Structure 1
C-alpha cells in the first residue's frame, strides 16, 4: 500500500489530503498470454532497460518497473548489482532528484498533526525501516527541498536488494522544511513550501514532534537520517541517538565504509613501506558533516592499534575551502573544532600541495565536492612521500569527484590505493589490471540496518557501527585480496550483509541494547543462518 500526501489549499492555507492505493498486484493468469514465462519476461525487461541510452531513462524505467512488478524489479537488482546500483542510486539518483515531481512529504505546516498523518500509513505493524531526509544537502547538488524524495526511495530499494528487508516494511519520508534554493522558490512547478528554511531552534522543535510520533506510531522502526545539512545533521544525531533507534548514514555510514576500506588499504601501504600501522597520518579535504563524521570514525583505526583518543586525533588533519583548519586561523563552525590543529600557528595554508608537503600524510581523503582538487601536483606529492599512497576521492557524483581513477593511476605510476564514492572503470597498467575500490555506503547500511532490526536494538551504538565496518573489512575473499581489492565485489552484497548483520547483533548484545534476548544463546553459525532465513527474496 502506498500513501500519497497531496497538498490542497483552503482559505490560503496548505493542507494535506491523505489517500492510499494498494500495491500493484501481479496480473491474473487470464490476463496474460497463454505462453507467458517469467524468465522470458525477465529477459524482455533487461532488453528494454539496456536499449535506453541515458542513465536517467534507465532510472525512470526501473522506477516504473518497481511500481508495476516488484518481484521482477528486485530479481534484476540482485542478479545485476554492479550494473543496477548506479542507476537506482549514486550517481543517477542525483539527476532523478533534479527532475522529481512527486507529492509525498510531511511539512512544517503539519506541526501539531504529524501523528495523525503517520497513522494513515496502511501497514503500521509491518514498518521496520524508514529513510528520512529534508533534501537540504543532496549528493553535492545542494538544497533540493522536496525534490530529495528519490534519495529516501533509492536507499530503501538498496535495503531490500542488499539485505533482504521486506519491501512492505520500508517507509520513505521527505520532510518539507522549505528550501534556501532560489530557483525552487521561484519555480511554479516546485511542489514544496515556498519559504526559507527555519532556524535550527525551529527545526529542532519540529523534529522533536516528528521523532516522538515516529516512535509512537511505528514502535519497531529503525530510522536512518539522510542528506541533512551539516549543522542539523550533527544536532539531530546528538539529540536523538540515545532516545530512538537512529543513525545518520552520511556521518556514521560513510565513516564506517571508509574505515573498512582504510583498514585494508593501510595494511597494504604499510607492507610496501615497512612502517607500522601507527605511523599513518590522514589528511581530509572537506570538513562538512560527512568529512568530520568519517574523521571521527577513522579515530577507531588508530585506537585499534593501541593509541589513545588524543593520539588518534593527532593523526588526523582537516582542510576546508579556506585551507588547513587550525585554532589560530579564527572562528569556525562548531563541528570543525574537534580536529582543529593546535600545533600550527603560521600563516593560512591554502594550497593543497603545500599542505600535503607540510603534513606528510599517508592517506588523502576527499569529501569536498570539488572536481579536480586532487591534481597531478597533489598526487605526485603523495607518491613522493609514500610507496603506496592511499587516495580516496569520495565526493559524489562523478562530476564532483576530487580525481578520477585513471588520473590517480597515471600520476602515482600505478602505485595508488584508491577508493571513490562513485564507480570508475578498472585500468590496465604496466601489463596488469588495477581495480578501483568504491567506498559505497550500500556495503554498510543494509547489513547495519538488518542487524539492528533483528536484534530489535533500542539504539544504534558506536560499537555497532564499528562492528559493521570490521565485518566489511574482514569479508574479502582470498581471490579479492590477491587482486589488492579494498572492498569485496558488490555482487556478493547479500552474503556480506548477512556477515555484517551478525557482527552488529553481537555488538548490540554486548552493549545491552538488544531486545531480542532469545538470540543471545545462539552460536554464530546458528545466528547467521537465522539472519539469512529472514532475508526476503523476490
Structure 2
C-alpha cells in the first residue's frame, strides 16, 4: 500500500491526512508496515489524541522525544499549533507543578548549592560539550505565575529548548537544560516525600551571588560557544544577574528581554490598527501596565523603543507609560518602592493613592492596557468597557500565564467591546465568530522571538546580546506579517510559519550584531543579504 501524508486544517489545527492507493504486492526488501515511519507518524498522533488530559499528552510527548527524537520533532513541525500548548504554555505550568511526581528520567543538568566549588567538574561530565550552543537556565524561583517551585521548574528549561529546536532548527544535541537547586521557600515541596530537590529554604543573596559567579565562569570555560538564556528567576535576581553578566558573556533574560521584544512587536502592529481607527498619531499612544515585576518592567523598557521610533525623546517616551502594582498607580510621593519600579514612577501625580483600575484608566486615558499581574479576571467587564469607551479599537493584552491566571479571556473581551478589541494574550485562546466575522486572538508568545534571536546569536557567535539586537528581533517579527495576515487584522503571524519567521529574525539579529561589532564570526559580514539568508536556512536542523 502506498501511503501519502498530507497536512490538512481542521478547526484551526493542522493534522495529517493519510491517503493510499490500496493494497499492492510488497516488493522484496521493503520496510515492513510495522516499521514504516509514515504509518508510525499516524500511529503516534492517534496515541497522542487518545489522551483526554493535557498533562497526559505532555507525558506522552516527553516519552516520545526520549525514544524517537526525530519523530517527535517531525510531528511537532507538522502540528505546531497543536503541540505548542502541550510542550510549552499552558500545559508546561501543570508539568512543573507535578514534575517530582511525573518524573521518569533525568533530562538536563541539576546543579545544586552543594556543588559550589566543583561546578566545573560537573559541567565537564556533559556528554556533548563540544556541540553545546544554547542553554536555558532557571533556578525555579518564579515559574510562570506559579511562584517558587524549586527544581520542579526544570520542565521550563526543557520546554524552551524544545521550541528552539522546533522553531529555529537548533540541533537537539547542542542544547543543555539546566535547573539550579538553591533550595525552595515553598513548604509543601519541602514536605513532599517525592520532591526531587534539596530540602531547605533558599540560600542568602550573598551565597547565591558567589554561586552564580562560579557557575557563569565555568559555563564560559567549558562551553565557549554557548549562549545562555536565563528563565524565571525571581524579579530582583532577574534584573541583578542580567545586569551583572550580560556584558561579560553571551546572555539574555527571556522574561525581561524576550517578553519585551514579543510584546513590542505585537504593540507596533496593534497601534497601527488602533490609530487607523481613531486618527490618533502613533506618538500619542498611552500604555498602562497592571503588574510591575520583572516581566512588566522589562516589557515597559522595551516599549520605550516604540515611542523613540516615532521621534520622541527618552523622557517623552517614558511619560507615555504608566505602571500599576498591588498598591495601585506607581508615583513618586506614594512612598518607598522596589528599585526596579522607580524608573517608571510618575512625578506628575501628587494626589491620594489610586488603587481602583477603572479610576486609574479614567485618569490615564490609555490606548493600551497590558496585564502581567497573574491576577485572574483583573480586566473585568467594567475595566474593558471603560477602555472601549475611550478608544474605537482598544488594545488589551492580558499576558499572564497560564490561562487560569489570564487577566481576561478573548470571548469576554469581544463581547464587552462589541468586537472592536485588539487582543493578544500570553496563552492561546481559540478564534471567535462575532457578527458574521471571524476574529483571531494574538498570542504574545515568546516563541515568536527567542528561537530566531538565539539562532542569529549562535550563528554569528556574538560576544554579547545587546539591546539593539533584541530590538532588531522585535522589529523583524513585526515586519513578518504576510498580506493575508494583515487582511485578517492579525497582530502576530501564524505560528505554522515559525521556521520562516525565525530565519527572518536571525537575519536581522546577525546584521545588527555586525553593525555593533559584537560578532565573532566576521566571515558572515561579506555575504550579501540573499546569501546570508540562504546560509541561515542551510544551518537549520530538520528531523
- Pick the TM interval, shorter chain: over 0.9
Cα deviation for residue 33 of structure 1 reads 4.9
Q: Distance in 2 between matches of 1:71 and 1:233?
A: 34
**1:256 corresponds to:** 261
1:45 corresponds in structure 2 to 44
After superposition, where does 1:228-247 map in structure 2 within 5 Å?
228-247=233-252
Moved over 3 A (4+): 32-35
CA displacement, residues 21-70 of structure 1 (integer Å, 9 cap, x when unaligned): xxxxxxxxx9x856521100000000000011111000000000000000
In structure 2, distance between residues paired with 1:407 and 1:35: 48
State how far apart, in whole Å, the 2-side matches of 1:386 and 1:99 are: 43
Per-residue Cα deviation, 1:373-398 (whole angstroms, up to 9, x for no partner): 00110011101111100000000000
**CA distance in structure 2 between the aligned counterparts of 1:344 and 1:211, rounded to whole angstroms:** 42
- 2:70 aligned with 1:71, yes or no? yes
Looking at structure 1, the residues matched to 428 and 518 of structure 2 have their Cα atoms a distance apart, in angstroms, of 36
Separation in 1, partners of 2:212, 2:115? 12
Partner of 2:156: 151
The Cα shift of 1:201 comes to 2.2
Partner of 2:422: 417
Which residue is 1:94 aligned to? 93
Give, in whole Å, the separation in 2 of the partners of 1:36 and 1:256.
Answer: 44
| Candidates 200, 215, 235, aligned match of 1:210 | 215
Distance 2:364 2:74 in 1: 48
State the TM-score, normalized to the length of structure 2: 0.93
Shift of 1:195: 1.4
2:134 corresponds to 1:135? no
Map 1:184-223 to 2 at 5 A: 184-223=189-228
Q: Which residue of 1 aligns with 2:270?
A: 265
Shift of 1:199: 2.4
| Partner Cα separation in structure 2 for residue 440 and residue 509 of structure 1 | 27
SS at match of 1:105: strand
Match of 1:392 in 2: 397
Q: Is residue 299 of structure 1 aligned with residue 304 of structure 2?
A: yes
SS in 2 for 1:159: helix
Quick one: distance in 2 between partners of 1:237 and 1:200? Answer: 15
- Between the aligned partners of 1:374 and 1:423, the Cα distance in structure 2 is 17
Residue aligned with 2:213, SS = helix
CA RMSD of the aligned region, Å? 1.0
2:13 is matched with none
Number of corresponding residues: 508
Structure 2 residue corresponding to 1:506, chosen from 507, 511, 516:
511
DSSP 3-state at the match of 1:520: helix
Q: Distance in 2 between matches of 1:271 and 1:188?
A: 58
The superposition leaves residues 421-461 of structure 1 with CA deviations (integer Å, 9 ceiling, x where unpaired) of 00001111111010000000000000000000001001000
Who is 2:327 aligned against?
Answer: 322
> How big is each residue's C-alpha offset from its partner over 1:261-304, in whole Å with a ceiling of 9 and x where there is no partner?
00000000000000100100000000000000000000000000
Structure 2 unaligned residues grouped into runs of 5+: 1-28
Which residue is 2:25 aligned to? none
Contact persistence 2:34–2:40 (CA under 8 A): no
Distance 1:482 1:37 in 2: 41
Structure-2 residue corresponding to 1:85: 84
Distance 2:200 2:524 in 1: 49
